[in-house]
Amino acid sequence: MKLLIINSDKVFSKNFKEYFSKKSFSVDSYENCDTLLNYKNINHIIAQYDVIFLSIEKDKLFALDVLDHINVLGIHAAVIFLSYVDSIDLMSKAFARNCEDYMLHPFSLKEIELRAMKAVRKKMKSDEIYLVGNYTYTLSQHAVFNDHQYIKLTKIELSILYLLIIHKNQIVSHEKIVNFVWKGKDILQNTLSVHIKNLKKKIIGLPIDSVKGVGYSIRLDH
């Protein structure tokens, strides 16, 4: 699962990254929402993430603008506000823009984790996703099981599978997968297809289709 936190408190962001990295989350951070809004490739940046944490600080309300941008683009990510301002008005504005949650300072990292998992489960409707045969993917564990037996996948394979699952029955472009898994780094032309083949070897019958020249899609009924 990929997380983005935008918070000017460097110590908090550092602790946040350390906490979630130890739990096998991928975490990126920015100091300011206004800085992010000025990036030309903002669309590609924020489209990579499953959960985005936006900080609201006194006299710095660009977080609401970022959420507006996310809504306009129709990006799938769950947005959780970390507010340093105790204001019902700001909370109302955030929920009016369809944020998933709104937390007031001080923040417990464990509580943030629990709320993040709840938000993603809500987006995906279920913690356990049926794949094929007796294979299932469990969101909370970020793992695949065959009749309750753990199937060992690499971190890259899990990331690819997760991205396809949250966009089930849709074509996910090569570019989007590369941005999500490799953070836009250059990879060999056949690298992605090799990882897809390995996934299909480990999960027999996995319904991933290749759309030539476009990307991949996973066919799931639920």
Beta carbons of 66 and 43 less than 8 angstroms apart: no
Residues 149 and 190 in one domain: yes
* Distance of alpha carbon 98 from alpha carbon 95, whole angstroms: 5
* Distance of alpha carbon 156 from alpha carbon 141, whole angstroms: 15
* Distance of alpha carbon 217 from alpha carbon 219, whole angstroms: 7
Q: Number of folded domains in the chain?
A: 2
The residues, any chain, with a CB within 8 Å of residue 177's CB and separated by 6 or more, are 160, 163, 192, 215, 216
* Structural domain range at position 186: 128-218
Reduce the secondary structure of 132-150 to three states and give it as a string: ECCEEEECCCCEEEECCEE
Residues 96 and 12 in one domain: yes
Please report, for the domain that includes residue 202, its CATH number: 1.10.10.10
* Distance of alpha carbon 156 from alpha carbon 162, whole angstroms: 10
Q: What is the pLDDT of residue 109?
A: 95
Here the tokens at position 188 are 């060999």
Residues 76 and 140 in one domain: no
* Distance of alpha carbon 197 from alpha carbon 191, whole angstroms: 10
* Distance of alpha carbon 114 from alpha carbon 109, whole angstroms: 9
Residues 11 and 117 in one domain: yes
| Helices (H), ranges, the chain | 10-22, 33-37, 42-46, 62-73, 88-96, 109-124, 155-166, 174-182, 191-202
Residues 106 and 203 in one domain: no
Please report, for the domain that includes residue 90, its CATH number: 3.40.50.2300
Residues 153 and 197 in one domain: yes
- Report in angstroms the alpha-carbon separations of 204 from 25, 129, 199: 26, 16, 8
Residues 113 and 167 in one domain: no
Residues 144 and 191 in one domain: yes
* Distance of alpha carbon 161 from alpha carbon 146, whole angstroms: 15
Residues 97 and 136 in one domain: no
Beta carbons of 188 and 196 less than 8 angstroms apart: no
Which of residues 124, 153, 179 is at a domain's end?
124
Residues 146 and 109 in one domain: no
Give the burial class of 7: count Cβ atoms within 10 A of its Cβ; 0-12 exposed, 13-18 middle, 19 or more buried.
Answer: buried
Each of the 222 residues of the chain gets a pLDDT tens digit; together they read 789 998 888 999 999 999 998 887 889 988 877 666 666 666 667 777 889 999 888 766 678 888 887 777 667 788 999 999 888 998 999 998 889 999 999 989 999 999 998 887 776 666 688 899 999 998 767 789 998 899 999 989 998 998 898 888 889 899 889 888 887 788 888 999 999 999 999 999 999 999 998 999 999 876
Q: What is the pLDDT of residue 38?
A: 66
Residues 58 and 114 in one domain: yes
Q: What is the pLDDT of residue 141?
A: 72
